[in-house]
Structure 1
Amino acid sequence: MNLKTNKINSANVIASGTIALKDLENKIVKIATRLSKTLKIDGFRKGKVPLALVRSRYQDNIKQDAQREAIQDMLQAALKELNIAAQQVIGDPIITKFNENTDDIDVEIKISLIPEINLDNIEQCIPEVKLPKITQKDIDARAEDIAKREAPLINAAKTKKLENGDSAVFDFEGFVDNKAFEGGKAENFELVIGSGQFIPGFEDSMLGMKAGEEKDIKVTFPENYQAKHLAGKEAVFKIKLHTIKVRDKVELNDDLAKKFMPQNPEATLKDFMAEVEKQLQFEAKTRLYNEELKEKLVENFLKNLVFDLPDLIVEQEMDLLFRNSLGTLNAEELKAIQESVEKAREKRESFRDDAQKSVRVTFIVDSLAKQKGIVVQDNEVFQTLYYEAMMMGKNPEEVIEYYKNNNLFPAIKMAMIEDRVLHHLLDSKIDSGKKPDSKSETVQKSKKTTKKKDVE
């Protein structure tokens, strides 16, 4: 085997050479011999099938196996010549040339390697972190809001006008084209005004009503409404408001603290307020990171950490971005790409810069995660998907099955690792010297559910 290696840069290698047909023939004989000892063919005992018959019947498969072995030999020889460990290879090497000649086969293989990244100056990439100050006014307002949500509902005075945040008990019946529709009627229905539980315009139209008042309101169902026979239709709802309920006042004291912190039977109001402050600090930090600092940190990565990228991985990312973009095109754009190879190539090429940035960040994050010992377990990915599915009102098992079937788990895990790495780096620069505890006690909040009708 004639072999020539060309290390283009630290992340890309091209190995080229020739495979002599006589060497390929030797491999074919060895493979056919192995097969002859295991094949079962009618008229022959196991292990006694003639070699000529095996080669004749399975010649295409045997030839392909022999070629794969020869290419693998070339690949291993190239890595050995360049002193590259197999673990450094990333992705599957690509055969860029395979020309069969009279006496040999010209072969060229492109190999991608895990890039070498110098993280010595990573501290210079981390932006300054100044957390917003949490004031006593903020703490008091949050504590009162938490207490208010847990306060019992009481009937308001008859003179009170309905406001956002009030709970209304009322009867309603909806009509489209002067005809009542199924699911559009209820009695003594309880609704928190401003919750957005009903279609747009419904709750706003009730504002200002008093207990005992009746009113007709006009609304339009959204075009994408779940009940197709109502989508986009104008409707009139006849409403009778029976009662307005408001939250009773709750005093902030030690008893309230014990209620909200059942895990601490000795909790005091001071403990409760300290817990509220921790929550506000964590929320403020999370907003700052997500809305500003994580983006700055990634920009600094791209600007300051320069290294060679494996071409094959960049090409794979371009393919992914290109495929994902097709779903966003209008019919005319999609048709143009489908009918023109050149336009399809141009569209794909337009994603090269984004693909390079994405691949670069992924390798940086992966290196940092290994350096810092940051990992995400598979069960954490399952828990995240389960929780998000629940929040979106979807079946968690179906969502998880979808991610499994489409091999999306690695992408979710990588996104979670990236988030943890970026948070870890930013936490190291918090100027207060005291990091908000993301695992602080959670003030317990009860949630009440309300039955939904077709009108929602």
Structure 2
Amino acid sequence: MQVTETLNEGLKRGYAITVTAAELDEKVTAKLKEAQPDIEMKGFRKGKVPLALLKKQFGPRVLGETMQEVIDGAMNEHFENTGDRPALQPEVKMVDGEEWKEGDDVRVEMSYEALPEVPEIDLSTITVQKLVVKADDASVDDALNNLASTAKDFETKEGPAEDGDQVVFDFLGKVDGEAFDGGAAEDYPLVLGSGSFIPGFEEQLAGVSAGDEKVVEVKFPEEYGAENLAGKDATFECKIKEVKAAKAAEIDDELAKKFGSEDLESLKGQIRERLEAEYAGAARQVMKRGLLDQLDGMVSFDLPPTLLDAEAKQIAHQLWHEENPDVHDHNHDTIEPTEEHMNLAERRVRLGLLLAELGQKAEVEVTDAEMTQAIMNQARQYPGQERAFFDFVRQNAQMQQQLRAPIFEDKVIDHIADQAQVTEKEVSKEELEKEVEALEEE
């Protein structure tokens, strides 16, 4: 076998690999001899089938397997010897293609873009600021008021129902004059304006009072879950039992118990911890951007053109859809990347390669427990289909990588922060919000 370099330009590499017919025949013969003792064939005892007959019967299949093994072996040996790491899967093609026949040498062309050498960085020279926000009493009180509004009670009122009131009623739904399954209930509590009923239903109950009877006329949405009702006109015969006005819950120990706390002070403490955890998460994003900005300015190296091009196209495509939110499919013209897209792609690819290198040297790994948690978090977006989502991820290597990548990146960022000079600065919630807004605008 002979490997000859045909291209060495920047990060682009090309090689010609030749495997002689004699080498292939030798390996095929060795494979058949190894399998010979276990082969049975009509007219021969087990293990006594002549090698020539085995070659005739199984030779073509074994030859194909051997060709693939030899080429794969040559590629692996090449990467071990050179230390090259391909940025993407190498492109491999046979020179002779369909014209090749048994007895010919196998000539293969392999091309790829090598990952660049990433310069060493002294992480201890990085200085970054970590913003710290304490939850003040006003923020805790605001959160308490919000909780109280979600835990509001309803008290019977006189007069007509208004938006936000709760109407307690019996109803019977009919389509084409016939009642349908699931279309009736008694003493049903409906908050007007909640949007929990068919569009147009709640608006027609505005103004009703206890003791009233009302016929509500609506049309089921075309995309309604029950096919027998989708797009159909319906009437609901309603008997109003009671109208109740909303009353915010008292902020006291009873409210705290509704949310699983022993008393009001315990609930305040939990709220304070939750708020400060949210602030810490936002502050971490600000610190992360500061770290990445410094890293971006500390290194410069060649970037694989194919990776750059793919990243720029992805950025252009994503931003186009953000500017055209009504387009949900990909049936649109090709989005050509601009210079701005290319500049952003360069930053992302450069930092991605740098973080990968730093993570590898620091032996950063994503644990099975971390992956399981990430999958569970994603699965919650598909209620009732969690098991199907788990199975999908297990069988989809690309999806696994999409979930693993951000976890790996965050762990590398933590590693860098541990080595860097980090100073804390206490700021107000408003100051932190401005910093976060600045990130979103970039």
* Match of residue 63 from structure 2: 63
Query: Please, which moves more after superposition, 403-412 or 181-190?
Result: 403-412
- Distance verdict in 2 for CA 1:60–1:271, change over 3 Å: same
* Match of residue 141 from structure 2: 140
The answer on whether the counterparts of 1:368 and 1:421 sit within 8 Å (CA) in structure 2 is no
Query: Please, which moves more after superposition, 204-213 or 357-366?
Result: 357-366
SS of the residue aligned with 2:163? coil
- Distance verdict in 2 for CA 1:95–1:274, change over 3 Å: same
- Distance verdict in 2 for CA 1:148–1:73, change over 3 Å: closer
* Match of residue 440 from structure 1: none
Deviation string, structure 1 residues 232-263 (Cα, Å, up to 9, x no partner): 3344433333222644642435x75577455x
| Alpha-carbon distance in 1 for matches of 2:363, 2:426 | 22
Instruction: Tell me whether 1:203 sits opposite 2:202 in the alignment.
Output: yes
* Match of residue 13 from structure 2: 13
| Alpha-carbon distance in 1 for matches of 2:375, 2:74 | 43
| Alpha-carbon distance in 1 for matches of 2:252, 2:21 | 88
* Match of residue 170 from structure 1: 169
Instruction: Tell me whether 1:53 sits opposite 2:76 in the alignment.
Output: no
Uncovered stretches (5+) of structure 1, i.e. residues with no partner = 334-345, 437-456
Task: Give me the TM-score of the superposition, normalised by structure 1.
Answer: 0.67
* Match of residue 228 from structure 1: 227
The answer on whether the counterparts of 2:355 and 2:409 sit within 8 Å (CA) in structure 1 is no
User: Equivalences for 1:385-404 in 2 at 5 Å?
Assistant: 385-386=375-376, 388-390=378-380, 392-404=382-394
- Distance verdict in 2 for CA 1:146–1:407, change over 3 Å: same
The answer on whether the counterparts of 2:132 and 2:427 sit within 8 Å (CA) in structure 1 is no
- Distance verdict in 2 for CA 1:108–1:392, change over 3 Å: closer
| Alpha-carbon distance in 2 for matches of 1:240, 1:430 | 66
| Alpha-carbon distance in 2 for matches of 1:369, 1:161 | 62
The CA RMSD measured in Å over matched residues stands at 5.0
| Alpha-carbon distance in 2 for matches of 1:423, 1:222 | 48
Deviation string, structure 1 residues 308-367 (Cα, Å, up to 9, x no partner): 55678789999999xx99x9355xx8xxxxxxxxxxxx9699899799988767545544
- Quote the sequence identity (%): 25
SS of the residue aligned with 1:238? strand
The answer on whether the counterparts of 1:96 and 1:110 sit within 8 Å (CA) in structure 2 is no
* Match of residue 279 from structure 1: 274
User: Equivalences for 1:59-98 in 2 at 5 Å?
Assistant: 59-79=59-79, 81-82=81-82, 84=83, 88=85, 93-98=90-95
The answer on whether the counterparts of 1:156 and 1:246 sit within 8 Å (CA) in structure 2 is no
Task: After TM superposition, give the deviation of residue 186 of structure 1 in Å.
Answer: 1.7
| Alpha-carbon distance in 1 for matches of 2:294, 2:200 | 46
User: Equivalences for 1:14-53 in 2 at 5 Å?
Assistant: 14-53=14-53
- Distance verdict in 2 for CA 1:231–1:69, change over 3 Å: closer
- Distance verdict in 2 for CA 1:76–1:140, change over 3 Å: closer
Task: After TM superposition, give the deviation of residue 222 of structure 1 in Å.
Answer: 1.9
| Alpha-carbon distance in 2 for matches of 1:228, 1:288 | 48
| Alpha-carbon distance in 2 for matches of 1:422, 1:207 | 57
* Match of residue 439 from structure 1: none
- Distance verdict in 2 for CA 1:62–1:349, change over 3 Å: farther
Uncovered stretches (5+) of structure 2, i.e. residues with no partner = 322-327, 430-442
- Distance verdict in 2 for CA 1:363–1:80, change over 3 Å: closer
Task: After TM superposition, give the deviation of residue 177 of structure 1 in Å.
Answer: 5.1
Task: Give me the TM-score of the superposition, normalised by structure 2.
Answer: 0.69
* Match of residue 442 from structure 1: none
| Alpha-carbon distance in 1 for matches of 2:126, 2:236 | 59
* Match of residue 183 from structure 2: 184
* Match of residue 156 from structure 1: 156
- Distance verdict in 2 for CA 1:226–1:359, change over 3 Å: farther
SS of the residue aligned with 2:185? strand
* Match of residue 413 from structure 1: 403
Task: Tell me which amino acid in the other structure corresponds to 1:38.
Answer: D
Task: Tell me which amino acid in the other structure corresponds to 2:93.
Answer: T
| Alpha-carbon distance in 2 for matches of 1:170, 1:198 | 13
Aligned length: 408
SS of the residue aligned with 1:172? strand
